[in-house]
Chains A and B, each alone.
Chain A
Amino acid sequence: GAVVSQHPSWVICKSGTSVKIECRSLDFQATTMFWYRQFPKQSLMLMATSNEGSKATYEQGVEKDKFLINHASLTLSTLTVTSAHPEDSSFYICSARADRNTEAFFGQGTRLTVV
């Protein structure tokens, strides 16, 4: 399958700081990328959907000013957690797909710990 890479794999940050997570499609151009959050032993919850060159669409209950998503190119989307708090600690996973007729491939995830 296609390769989607996330960076970093894990990050620890202090409360009040911002953290940026990158999601790259390595061998295909991703018109759409999805960002998920997964708490321990729970399912994946979709946070937002982003299409290249346009604003992200956020799911209900997800603060767009806190979770900034940028999808400026066909191979890169970024999620910035602003003013992070301990309750933002979670496993963040992205997925990317080339077009509507292809599958979405997942990155390996980023574990964020806010202390």
Chain B
Amino acid sequence: GENVEQHPSTLSVQEGDSAVIKCTYSDSASNYFPWYKQELGKGPQLIIDIRSNVGEKKDQRIAVTLNKTAKHFSLHITETQPEDSAVYFCAASIRTGFQKLVFGTGTRLLVSP
């Protein structure tokens, strides 16, 4: 089955710096890669996603890149703000059948003012 690895587990940056979180997946059949932000005591919230027919996607300060050959994808947050502090999860799934999401282990991002 699919296995998703995520690095780093914790990331501390200064406000205004960029943050990069990387994930690798094992199943070459996976074709959907969402990123979620989870604040303490809350459920995950989708912040951006990318499909395998696209190499890069951007939404304001957030961007995701996908390298299908290497089977890895990354989340880039620019001009970080304290409210970006949260746990971020990457996930992968196959867009057929039940489309089960397999989550990475999470990255705790701390943005210091």
Q: Interface majority SS on B: helix, strand, loop or mixed?
A: loop
A57 interface residue per 8 A CB criterion: yes
CA distance in complex: A108, B34 (Å) = 18
Option from B44, B49, B96 in Cβ contact (under 8 Å) with A93: B44
Asked if B41 is at the interface of the complex by the 8 Å CB criterion, the answer is yes
Interface check A106, CB cutoff 8 A: yes
Q: Are B89 and A109 in contact (CB under 8 A)?
A: no
> Does A13 sit at the interface, judged by CB under 8 A?
no
Q: Does A105 contact B (CB under 8 A)?
A: yes
Q: Which of B34, B43, B103, B105 contacts A109 (CB 8 A)?
A: B43
User: What total of chain A residues lie within 8 Å of the partner, measured CB to CB?
Assistant: 25
Cβ-defined contact, B43 with A42, below 8 A: no
Q: How far is the CB of B13 from chain A (nearest CB, A)?
A: 20
Interface: A103 (CB within 8 A) = yes
Which residues of B are interface residues toward A (Cβ below 8 A)? Answer: 34, 36, 41-46, 49, 89, 95-96, 98-106
Listed by A's residue number, 23 A-B pairs whose Cβ atoms lie within 8 Å are: A1-B46, A34-B100, A34-B101, A42-B106, A43-B89, A43-B103, A43-B104, A43-B106, A44-B44, A44-B89, A44-B103, A46-B100, A46-B101, A93-B43, A100-B95, A100-B96, A103-B46, A105-B46, A106-B36, A106-B44, A107-B43, A108-B42, A109-B41
